[in-house]
């Protein structure tokens, strides 16, 4: 068999060691997985990331500088620069140049929830799921800017069917089904510490999603880039599936991206404390990049400016605006640049010599992942812009504690209380219920205040409050 010979000739014949005992379906499965593997790429990764000391090129930390960022002004409404950017962003939206893009292919292991993370209920009163929150934000933006605003959602092999079925079961949350494109991200095989591809069962290879950076390849391969081009899309509003507070469509952000001639822009938050687990926006030899929190030396994390602020305070929250042409250029055939893979040591279930799958207690192999923020160094005029926590960031990552359903719920309550205050709604002392505002009622404080002025209703604070 040709495939078997090929893998054998590359030292990976072990994936076929149970071949003789497999039935036709199992053989077909194994072959189709083997077809997904680019052996040249894998050889390269094994020699650079598995057999060498690791993927961490030693950064010259003494030359590392904090990346400059555009600070958020005290009063957006009167700041000419920000108002001009907002107009530009709104104009791009009205002209149909923007698509929303959600990466939802992760495995959500930390949350420990059974099902695609986007189907996790997250809002305080109605328990809307993450996908519903984004759908409503997108619908609200479509109505506000009278535009198509297509939505692209990247899934993985593991959660694709469940994700699509969830949207179908919920009538796509009122969005036209053909305005949402679901596509699967790529997969990579896991290898052991000798670089051998791990077999998970007799007939399947241990494959896993290739990281959110795999989005660019997957957009190309799925034909989504082409569809975007045909629809006149010029920029993607990129956000992650786990963050319901994100301004999925932010005209200021889009406007600044366009105004500054950037090809990939990013939002930042000043880190709340030295060791907050956010990547750091840095500049090294004139190139803007993110240094992961796990790579940043303690002394740099702790370094302070004369005014007492952390020097490396610009934390990445994985919200980007990316120009379509730029994203495509990174994955075009013959492109001189590409996103690097990173190594992650994991416990990878494997098949033992008796043919049974075994779960290891400690890491036994390496998975390969790409990160979307690795595109930033290739960007022209990469822009980093400040936002505020409540208006953009409260992810659901962990089952409890920091970045958990509980902390996210508390942040939503804080945000909606702020909106109530701004609209002059008096929350009775001692009210300990929950408050929730539908994105279809208001997307932000400003629109909440003006919607409330037009049609306020009397609120019954004897139970939870939902404004929709």
Structure tokens at 86: 């907002």
Closest CA to 397 of 130, 209, 168: 130
Q: How far is the CB of 116 from ligand UTP (least distance, A)?
A: 9
Instruction: Using the rule CB under 6 A, give the single segment among 109-117, 128-136, 275-283, 380-388 that binds ligand UTP.
Output: 109-117
Pick the piece of the chain touching ligand UTP (CB under 6 A) from 106-114, 123-131, 348-356, 374-382.
106-114
Residues 342-381 vs ligand UTP: string with x where CB under 6 A?
A: ----------------------------------------
127-186 positions binding ligand UTP, by CB under 6 A: 154, 185
Tell the smallest beta-carbon distance from residue 159 to ligand UTP (Å). Answer: 9
Residue nearest to ligand UTP (CB): 106
- Site for ligand UTP (CB under 6 A): which residue of 86, 184, 343, 397? 397
| Choice from 72, 188, 241, 319 touching ligand UTP (CB under 6 A) | 241
Q: How many residues bind ligand UTP (CB under 6 A)?
A: 19
Taking CB under 6 A as the binding criterion, the range among 23-31, 205-213, 248-256, 263-271 that sits at the site for ligand UTP is 205-213
In the set 5, 107, 335, 358, which binds ligand UTP (CB under 6 A)? 107
The closest alpha carbon to 278, from 263, 267, 264, 287, belongs to 267
Region from 28-36, 62-70, 207-215, 425-433 binding ligand UTP, contact rule CB under 6 A = 207-215
Stretch near ligand UTP under the rule CB under 6 A, chosen from 10-18, 105-113, 244-252, 306-314:
105-113
Shortest Å, Cβ 187 to ligand UTP: 9
Cβ-Cβ contacts under 8 Å for 403 (sequence gap 6 or more): 394, 395, 396, 397
CB of 268 to ligand UTP, least distance (A): 17
From candidates 86, 97, 137, 212, binder to ligand UTP by CB under 6 A:
212
Query: Does residue 109 belong to the site contacting ligand UTP (CB under 6 A)?
Result: yes
Note whether 221 binds ligand UTP by CB under 6 A: no
Tell whether residue 206 is a contact of ligand UTP (CB under 6 A). no
Q: Which of 7, 46, 100, 105 binds ligand UTP (CB under 6 A)?
A: 105
Binding site for ligand UTP (CB under 6 A): 103-110, 117, 154, 185, 209, 211-212, 214, 240-242, 397
């Amino acid at each position: 068999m040709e495939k078997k010979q090929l893998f054998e000739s590359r030292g990976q014949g072990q994936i076929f060691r149970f071949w003789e005992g497999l039935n036709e379906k199992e053989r077909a499965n194994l072959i189709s997985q083997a077809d997904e593997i680019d052996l040249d790429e894998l050889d390269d990764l094994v020699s650079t990331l598995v057999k060498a000391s690791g993927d961490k090129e030693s950064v010259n930390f003494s030359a590392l500088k904090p990346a400059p960022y555009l600070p958020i002004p005290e009063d957006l409404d009167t700041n000419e620069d920000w108002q001009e950017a907002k107009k530009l962003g709104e104009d791009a939206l009205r002209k149909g140049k923007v698509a929303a893009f959600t990466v939802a292919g992760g495995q959500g292991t930390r949350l420990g929830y059974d099902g695609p993370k986007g189907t996790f209920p997250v809002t305080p009163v109605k328990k809307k799921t993450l996908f519903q929150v984004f759908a409503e934000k997108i619908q609200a933006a479509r109505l506000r800017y009278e535009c198509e605003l297509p939505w692209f959602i990247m899934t993985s092999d593991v959660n694709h069917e469940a994700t699509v079925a969830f949207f179908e079961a919920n009538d796509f949350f009122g969005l036209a089904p053909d305005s949402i494109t679901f596509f699967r991200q790529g997969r990579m095989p896991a290898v052991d510490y000798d670089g051998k591809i791990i077999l998970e069962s007799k007939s399947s290879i241990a494959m896993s999603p290739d990281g959110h950076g795999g989005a660019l390849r997957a957009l190309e391969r799925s034909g989504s880039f082409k569809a975007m081009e045909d629809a006149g899309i010029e920029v993607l509003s990129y956000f992650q599936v786990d963050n319901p507070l994100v301004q999925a469509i932010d005209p200021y952000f889009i406007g600044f991206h366009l105004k500054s001639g950037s090809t990939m822009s990013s939002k930042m938050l000043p880190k709340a404390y030295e060791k907050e687990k956010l990547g750091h926006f840095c500049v090294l030899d004139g190139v803007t990049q993110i240094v992961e929190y796990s790579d940043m030396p303690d002394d740099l994390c702790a370094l302070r400016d004369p005014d007492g602020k952390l020097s490396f305070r610009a934390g990445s929250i994985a919200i980007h605006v990316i120009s379509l042409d730029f994203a495509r250029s990174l994955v075009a055939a013959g492109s001189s640049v590409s996103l690097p893979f990173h190594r992650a040591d994991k416990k990878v279930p494997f098949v033992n010599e008796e043919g049974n799958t075994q779960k290891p207690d400690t890491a036994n192999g390496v998975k390969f992942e790409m990160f979307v923020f690795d595109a930033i160094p290739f960007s022209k005029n990469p822009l980093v812009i400040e936002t505020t926590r409540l208006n953009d960031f409260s992810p659901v990552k962990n089952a409890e504690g920091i970045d958990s359903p509980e902390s996210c719920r508390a942040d939503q309550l804080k945000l909606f209380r702020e909106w109530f205050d701004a609209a002059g709604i008096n929350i009775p002392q001692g009210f300990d219920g929950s408050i929730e505002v539908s994105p279809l009622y208001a997307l932000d404080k400003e629109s909440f205040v003006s919607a409330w002025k037009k049609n306020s209703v009397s609120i019954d604070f004897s139970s939870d409050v939902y404004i929709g």
